[in-house]
Chain A
Amino acid sequence: MTSVMTRTVARLLLLPTLVTALAILVKGYTQPGDGFSAGVVAALGVLLQLMVFGREEAEKIPGVRQAGTLAFVGLLAALVLAVVPLLLGDPLLTHYPSPGSGVLHFGTLEFVTAVLFDCAVFLLVFGFVVGTVGAISRAIEAADREEDPS
């Protein structure tokens, strides 16, 4: 059903989409964009594969099959980031380095724990979208199989 052009374009688009998502995530602190948008963009890239190539093909991409787990890993990471400052004596969800002190730079990438928090959110949103649409596609397959056992 899908033409050669669609398939080629879809295959080509996966990596740039993921890179764009990563860029949005990383630059989120200095320009518009944050963990949410990055997560959805990455998920949309994966979803394109899912729609064009079907679920089996899409699940070969690392991380897609375990989308749900990824979501909870993200949640856990966020919780850890929130609680660790408590152990160090600071209030909940304090970010390091604290205001005023210097920050390590790598180009425009800053090593701040808030970026880690955004990464956790990224994982969660990615897992959520891919997980939900994956569940829908599984349900569609199951329904189709029942109607047409051939």
Chain B
Amino acid sequence: MILILSAVIAVVFGSGAFLILQRDLFRVVVGIVLISNAANLFIISAGLTRGEPPIYPLLEGATIADPLVQAMALTAIVISSSVAALLLSLVYRLYVAHDSVDIEDVSAAEVREAEALERDEDPGRDPEREEEPRGSPGDVGLREDTR
């Protein structure tokens, strides 16, 4: 039983990992959802006991399932579904911005933007760039003071 459970969890996780490595952002989201599912299954199967539902009145003499992992898995399911919703809206937003859901296009756009920023020489980026032009000798203050 344990072996089979572990195998299934590993298969689900592996499929999720495979999907995360894809170019298509939508597939990446699907991969993340699969990995969350694998994690939730892992939480539930890590329960200390497995048996009847933990609802009163309890069955006499039977093993009662572990309620704590169920509560945690429930929380995890809700949170991972909200995260999936968030990721989907992010994919939509990326499509709107770049007209593509391909990660290559997105990272190419990011590199382009970084280069554009560097070329504009935003003075706030590197505070130490001011050092070089200074150093003019004379008995004047070596920095332009604003006030």
- Could you list which residues of chain A lie within 8 angstroms of chain B, going by C-beta atoms? 30-32, 34, 36, 125, 128, 132, 135, 139
Contact = CB atoms under 8 A, between A and B. Distances in A.
Q: Is the interface of B mostly helix, strand, loop or mixed?
A: helix
A31 B50 CA distance: 19
A132 B53 CA distance: 33
A30 B74 CA distance: 17
Contacts of B56: 30
Contact of B82 (A30, A31, A128, A135): A128
Contacts of A34: 74
B134 to A, nearest CB: 53
Contact of A32 (B53, B78, B85, B89): B53
B42 interface: no
10 contacts: A30-B55, A30-B56, A31-B55, A32-B53, A34-B74, A36-B78, A125-B78, A132-B85, A135-B89, A139-B92
B74 A36 contact: yes
B128 to A, nearest CB: 45
A36 B55 CA distance: 18
Interface of B: 53, 55-56, 74, 78, 82, 85, 89, 92
The 10 closest A-B pairs by CB, nearest first: A132-B85, A36-B78, A31-B55, A32-B55, A36-B74, A128-B82, A32-B53, A139-B92, A125-B78, A135-B89
A135 B53 CA distance: 37
A50 B74 CA distance: 27
Nearest to B75: A36
Contacts of B78: 36, 125
Contacts of B92: 139
B33 to A, nearest CB: 15
Nearest to B77: A36
A76 B53 CA distance: 32
Contacts of B82: 128
A43 to B, nearest CB: 12
Nearest to A139: B92
Nearest to A125: B78
A39 to B, nearest CB: 10
Given A32-B55, A34-B74, A125-B78, 10 more contacts: A30-B55, A30-B56, A31-B55, A32-B53, A36-B74, A36-B78, A128-B82, A132-B85, A135-B89, A139-B92
